[in-house]
Amino acid sequence: MDAWIVLLPLVGALIAGLGNRRLGDKPAMYITTGLLLASAVMSWIVFFDVNFGGTPRTTVLFSWFSTGDFKADWAIRVDQLSAVMLVVVTTVSSMVHVYSIGYMGHDHSKPRFFAYLSLFTFAMLMLVTADNFVQMFFGWEGVGLCSYLLIGFWFHKPSANAAAIKAFVVNRVGDFGFALGIFGVFMIFNSVQFETVFAAVPDQVGKTFHFLSWTPDVMTTLCILLFIGAMGKSAQVPLHTWLPDAMEGPTPVSALIHAATMVTAGVFMVCRLSPMFEFAPDAKLVVTVIGASTAFFAATIGLTQFDIKRVIAYSTCSQLGYMFFAAGVGAYGAAMFHLFTHAFFKALLFLCSGSVIHAMSDEQDMRKMGGIYKLIPWTYALMWIGSLALAGIGIPGVYGFAGFYSKDSILESAFAAHSGVGMYAYWLGILAAVMTAFYSWRLLFLTFHGKPRADHHTMEHVHESPWVMLVPLIVLAVGAVVAGIAFAPYFVGEHMEAFWGEALFFAPDNHVPHEAHEVPTWVALLPLLAGLVGIGFSFIAYMKRTDLPAKIAAAFGPIYTFVYRKWLFDELFDATLVNPAKALGRVLWKGGDGKIIDGLGPDGISQVTVDLARRASKLQTGYVYHYAFAMMIGVVALVSWYLVAFRG
């Protein structure tokens, strides 16, 4: 069963991709979707088996590499951690497949689209079930390739092509660090197998190596290099710039990338490598600072955006920051819990935004919406559920939406770390919680309430999505409603140790997961208060005092512009990296390739040869008397040479 969970999406991708138009649209859609649904059902069976009393196992399919000491198997590792990822990936992906049957109904390349979706899912499943670094890197690069294909799926749009290239290039930067980390792991441990490496980690604690004039710590260096890969894949500052541009792809792609696959790979990787990070406290400090900074930074940008999908995209970036700083303080269970719940409500929000865009004739600017909540009531109600889960709203001790349990456990863990970086993460997380609630309800109020701001033609065609799109939303909404309260005792509560088994490693001095339950009452209640404050401010600004946002933007003109332009990261990278690279490329093109290579090659020696051949060809006139005259000249020349050379 384990192997079929991973291989069924690949089978669907091959059938739809190779069959393409010969197969037809409907068979391609139904086959890939059916196989994903089967994979999802089996994933839930495996999840309840492994995480609730079952035995982790590894199924070796075949030996992949074997060169000297370098060996890597192609295997399916199913333990408590990978079982969680299996249900996240397959559940969201299967719902995205079903949703896409309706959303992509008018597209002319449906077999190709569904093949890409299934291939994306297969690559992610290979990543999360890997039992060695090489197989993980294969899945890592696979999701990178598929993100390029899906973001640029509408390749007739220049903006989509540019976004796909940007995602691919930015991730290459992070992946270079990840690859160096893998090389370093093999150099130090002489193996790329997780179990072998993890067992040998304690022996490397405190050891250093020489590099130029430095002697850095071995474990810190390896973990930071590996984390650089996570920064790129999971869009952490400063390797986050590709994520908002990824909205150029179809909305189902946004839901799949942002909720269940590519962006969660980095969080999963850090948690999988907890036996390494637990012995690299300085690396954990870096993870905490980067994660907390990203949570705050991305939330500020979400306050100012008007594209409905970009608001949710920056929300994803911010929530990933929460997951990372949870892992950074040693609360790996809390990080995975938020990854688990976030998959449901973030996929719900993205697919709801797609439903809105579908209803509004492909309009994505919230300034051109409004007044449609009665026209698409199902989408409106489901988006409320997703927003309540994202903001972490609930009644303490009674009930809460998914984010109420998972995000609060992260903040409580940060406080329980009793460290400077822990407090840094906690307070930035609280500020991000206020902003998250604010921009979530700003989205709701601008999109659904107030007077209609769309043109008359658009408003006439506003309609609810078909059931093939609504049913996946309802399934995801169930997850947003019950995932938190149902699984909190297992991910972060009293059953945590039995639930995770040995899949997560906690050092003997790591007491954060337990002390998180003993924080002061105000620490536990402040995240909820922060969410309610954010909702209240949003209600005042966008329902009662609708002139207030414009006044605030004018009053904070330079700051507002700075945040609206995404802290000028794109401009900074253009000035420091892109433009110098272009200038260098231009010099190498014009000077190196044009003047030197072409000058010596096609425009040099080759051109001289062509000129000589052209001149020689003029001797071939085709007239006999010309040839006779040439022969006579030759005879005269030969006789003259003979007389001069041999006279006497």
Encoded amino acid at 514, one letter: H
Least confident of 119-128, 150-159, 534-543: 150-159
- State the pLDDT confidence band at 415, using cuts at 50, 70 and 90: very high
Tell me the average pLDDT across 164-187: 91
Does residue 621 register a pLDDT over 90? no
How many residues in the chain?
A: 648
- State the pLDDT confidence band at 600, using cuts at 50, 70 and 90: low
The domains of the chain are located at 2-564, 565-617, 620-648
Q: Which residues lie closer than 8 Å to 262 by C-beta, 6 or more apart?
A: 120, 124, 143, 144, 147, 233
- CB–CB of 34/101 below 8 Å? no
Which is nearest to 192 in space by CA: 178, 212, 203, 202? 178
Which is nearest to 319 in space by CA: 343, 352, 348? 343
Which uninterrupted H or E stretch holds 59? Answer: strand 57-67
Which is nearest to 342 in space by CA: 67, 7, 627, 91? 91
Catalogue the E-assigned strands of 315-473: 394-395, 399-400
**What b-and-e string marks burial along 48-67, b requiring 16 or more CB atoms within 10 Å of the CB?**
eebbeebebebbeeeeeeee
Q: How far is CA 91 from the centre of its chain?
A: 17
Does residue 119 register a pLDDT over 60? yes
The reported pLDDT for the residue numbered 610 is 76
- State the pLDDT confidence band at 254, using cuts at 50, 70 and 90: confident
The reported pLDDT for the residue numbered 601 is 67
Tell me the average pLDDT across 135-142: 92
Give phi and psi for 374, each to the nearest 5: -80, -20
- Which of helix, strand or coil describes residue 132? strand
d(CA 364, CA 396) in angstroms, rounded, equals 36
DSSP state at residue 592:
I
Does residue 647 register a pLDDT over 70? no
CA atoms within 13 A on the CB side of 107: 22
d(CA 640, CA 648) in angstroms, rounded, equals 14
- CB–CB of 370/404 below 8 Å? no
Least confident of 216-220, 395-399, 446-450, 599-603: 599-603
Does residue 68 register a pLDDT over 80? no
Does residue 283 register a pLDDT over 70? yes
- Which of helix, strand or coil describes residue 72? strand
Tell me the average pLDDT across 434-462: 91
Q: Is 445 left (phi over 0), alpha (psi -120 to 50) or beta?
A: alpha
CB burial of residue 156 (10 Å; 0-12, 13-18, 19+): exposed
Least confident of 137-141, 354-358, 607-611: 607-611
DSSP state at residue 568:
G
- CB–CB of 372/457 below 8 Å? no
Q: Which two tokens stand for residue 564?
A: 């609206």
Q: In whole numbers, what is the pLDDT of the chain averaged over residues?
A: 90
Q: Is 625 left (phi over 0), alpha (psi -120 to 50) or beta?
A: alpha
Angle at 35 between CA 30 and CA 38, to 5 degrees: 125
Which string of DSSP letters, residue by residue, matches 405-459?
HHHHHHHHHHHHT-SHHHHHHHHHHHHHHHHHHHHHHHHHHHHHSSS--S-HHHH
Percent of the chain with pLDDT strictly greater than 70: 98
Q: How far is CA 342 from CA 59, 181, 483, 513, 611, in A?
A: 29, 28, 10, 20, 70
Q: How far is CA 509 from the centre of its chain?
A: 32
Tell me the average pLDDT across 493-504: 91
d(CA 6, CA 191) in angstroms, rounded, equals 25
Give phi and psi for 193, each to the nearest 5: -75, 130
Question: Which residues face 60 on adjacent strands?
Answer: 75
Tell me the average pLDDT across 451-473: 89
d(CA 170, CA 162) in angstroms, rounded, equals 12
